[in-house]
Amino acid sequence: MAEGAGASLEARRADTGRTLFRSRFTIAALAALTLPMMAAPAQADGLFEVGPVEFGGAIRGNVTYRDYNTPDEFDDWFEFDTLITRADFDTGRFIGSAQGRLYYYHQDGQDHDTAFVHHAWLGYRFDDGSVVHAGVHQVPFGLLPYASDNWFFSIAYYVGLEDDYDLGFKYVSPDWDGWSLQAAWYIGDEGDGIGRSEDSARYSYDIVDEGANGNDEENQFNLRVARTFFQGDDDRSLELGASGQWGEVPNDITGQDGDHWAAAVHLRGEEGRFGYDLEFVTYDINQKVPAGLNPDVVQMGAFDFPYNVASGGEIYLANLRYSPEYKLPFFESWTVYNNFSVLTKDPSGFEDTIHNITGAYFSKGPWFITLDYGVGQGSPFITRDFTNGLAAGSDEWDSRINLNVALYY
């Protein structure tokens, strides 16, 4: 998935001595010491168990080619990507999950690494099958658990609207004759980890305070409702759903509170060996930044790199995938896909961001391999326009080939 893709050094902040956690990250990190860490993909059996707790992790590496690299940059074509440690437990009534990650990048002859908690939560399962979560967990919004099949995710991820994690409380309903509901309240974002940036050492994209903007995220409310059809049919499934979220964007410089909201409708279907997704997302961020800063440009960050995002827009997403019956040598299963997403921006004069990934993933026991060809315009991890691609952007197209090899244990 779209984790750990290298980013432009111009996005880095100069605070190279920063090694302290922010308060919310510290809470999550302390929780992680007493919690298990997230369950890995289905093919991972875990490294060892202690009572009801299973421990494991993963190690991943990338082989990358970018069509805009200069010849002297091709020595960075292979690098370590991610080290994951995890644990999870389930006693039937009580459940919990947490995960920590370390990322490494080598760019322009410099080494860079960052570490943070991916998630850390405790849960309780009721007799009717409903579950409550408390801690840092996935926000219930749009297509779940992901809105994409590829390693880079979709454009929604890069504006904080796919696979987002925040600190709060969540209710997950049981199945009600095909209906499901998730409702959540988030105290704030997941917090900042270890890295060089001021506020961007984290897994999922949030509004961040890098330098002079003074923004934060607080008091976010989420509601997601979905209806599943063809239950019990092994060859066909269909989910239709709608999501909404609203939260505060307080500014500690101006002393004013802005807000943000987003809404989505989605469809996910499976027909035999074919699968397809459609999603429409609209969002708006009303920030109260100091004079001299552009209110149409919001600073967001993750993986220790901040960048600029349009304050509002619409995302259109379409995915198609196919899992062939033909078995390849050395692999147990494989899937080919095309994932397309585009962000049209509300501020006048901003170029659209376009993001298309064609690829395949292959699995064999604990091994998981993803091969992607990405082409786009203003897409931060596909094109050269990292800092402003999701804001004003440009009409220049670039491409990237990425091979990710992962061992889960």
Nearest to 308 by CA among 226, 231, 391, 365: 391
pLDDT at 310 over 50: yes
pLDDT value for 43? 39
pLDDT at 220 over 60: yes
Nearby residues of 331 by Cβ (< 8 Å), 6 or more positions away: 362, 363, 364
| Phi, psi (degrees; rounded to nearest 5) at 177 | 50, 45
Per-residue pLDDT band at 20 (split at 50, 70, 90): very low
Give the angle 269-345-315 at the CA atoms, nearest 5°. Answer: 5
Residue 324 DSSP code: -
Task: Let me know if 305 is exposed, middle or buried by CB neighbors in 10 A (0-12, 13-18, 19+).
Answer: buried
Above pLDDT 70, what percent of the chain?
87
pLDDT value for 234? 85
pLDDT digits (tens, 9 = 90+) for 379-393: 999 999 999 999 999
pLDDT value for 111? 81
**What size, in residues, is the chain?**
409
| CA distance linking residue 204 with residue 220, whole number of Å | 15
Extended strands (E) in 91-161:
94-107, 110-125, 131-138
pLDDT value for 35? 31
Average pLDDT of span 305-327: 97
pLDDT digits (tens, 9 = 90+) for 261-302: 999 999 999 999 999 999 999 999 999 999 999 999 999 999
Give the angle 254-259-262 at the CA atoms, nearest 5°. Answer: 155
Q: How is the chain split into domains, by residue range?
A: 128-408
β-pairing, 206-207 vs 53-66, is unpaired
pTM over cut 0.75: yes
pLDDT at 359 over 50: yes
Per-residue pLDDT band at 51 (split at 50, 70, 90): confident
Strand-pairing partners, residue 225, are 181, 242
| CA distance linking residue 15 with residue 6, whole number of Å | 19
Nearby residues of 216 by Cβ (< 8 Å), 6 or more positions away: 188, 189, 207, 209, 249, 250, 251, 252
Handedness of CA 304, 307, 311, 316 (dihedral sign): negative
Sheet arrangement for strand 305-310: 206-207, 297-302, 305-310
Give the least confident one: 30-44, 258-272, 299-313, 353-367.
Answer: 30-44
Task: Let me know if 128 is exposed, middle or buried by CB neighbors in 10 A (0-12, 13-18, 19+).
Answer: exposed
Phi/psi-derived region of residue 177, left when phi > 0, alpha when psi is between -120 and 50, beta in every other case: left
pLDDT value for 44? 64
pLDDT value for 74? 54
Return the CATH superfamily for domain 128-408: Porin (2.40.160.10)
> What does the CA dihedral 288, 293, 299, 304 come to, rounded to 10 degrees?
-120
pLDDT digits (tens, 9 = 90+) for 52-80: 999 999 999 999 998 987 655 555 678 88
